[in-house]
Amino acid sequence: MRYSQRLSPIGMSTRRKLVKEGKVEEHSRAWVDLKDSIIHVEGRINALDAKIDRRIDALDAKVDRFRDELSGDIKALDQRLSGDIKTLDQKLSKYALWLIGIQATIFAAVIATILK
């Protein structure tokens, strides 16, 4: 006769109860392991979040520095171009006066030639 057949109904009940308790204990351990894994993953996610925040802050600072440097370069270039434009305007005014003077002289020479 088999062992399970030799046990009384009370023995079978106790055996089933022990098996069920074992399974419940196994499930409880699995839930604890799952909880530990979730806590570990949550910690890694928080660490990655902090790392990304630091990198974004560093990138913001770098962009701000670049913007400041570029703004200074643009201002310097604007001042230089303003000076060059003033110089060019003065030269053109001088050349325009020379051109008008030459034209007036030629006009006076032509008039003088015609009146002779």
pLDDT < 50: residue spans in the chain: 1
pTM of the predicted structure, to 2 decimals: 0.49
| pLDDT for position 13 | 75
* Measured distance CA(54)–CA(61) in Å, rounded: 11
DSSP string, 58-72: HHHHHHHHHHHHHHH
| pLDDT for position 21 | 76
Q: What confidence tens digit (pLDDT) does each residue in 50-78 have?
A: 999 999 999 999 999 999 999 999 999 99
| pLDDT for position 1 | 47
Buried b / exposed e over 49-59, threshold 16 CB at 10 Å, is eeeeeeeeeee
- DSSP class of residue 7 equals S
